Homo-oligomer: A and B are copies of this chain.
């Protein structure tokens, strides 16, 4: 009976994620979104409800993609090398922005206890939990010495990634060298 939407919802969310990721929450206007998604306001609000709602979808999509990429790595190697490769992946060119979208969101809208910053926080917690699980697995398999604390390793690992990716947005910073230095820290965990 009805009429089918003329768009691919998933593709729209992807495009919105890229826009929000690079330009930020306040830096992306409805006019920008309408242009990037080729949608008029009516369709947009029928499909997503609000700019906030689409941003939340974009955040979730971003986090899901990150988690999937990590899981893919974890399936094809040992836990510690997966973490190593995941770290080094942020030194490779490509992607709409370099810095983590969750961190960018947290720093932009944080402070006032916004729904968006809470969501970004929860998603960061989720990533940290995955890191922790991988460090624990690495410890169980002997890749990481028993005296280390997986929770602390995960927190430090996440902080390293945050610093690496933020630095990578600066012109004239050799992200690869920085990433390899951080990766070398992981290699020292065996002892």
Residues of B within 8 A of A162 (CB): 162-163, 166-167
Chief secondary structure at chain A's binding surface: helix
Residue pairs across A and B with Cβ atoms less than 8 A apart, 25 shown, are A23-B111, A24-B107, A24-B108, A26-B26, A26-B27, A103-B166, A104-B107, A104-B108, A106-B169, A106-B170, A110-B169, A111-B169, A124-B170, A155-B167, A155-B177, A156-B178, A156-B181, A158-B167, A160-B160, A160-B163, A161-B163, A162-B167, A163-B163, A163-B166, A166-B166
Within 8 A of B (CB), among A119-162: 121, 124-125, 152, 155-156, 158-162
**Interface residue from B27, B178, B185 paired with A155 (Cβ < 8 Å):** B178
Task: Assess the A159–B170 pair: CB atoms within 8 A.
Answer: no
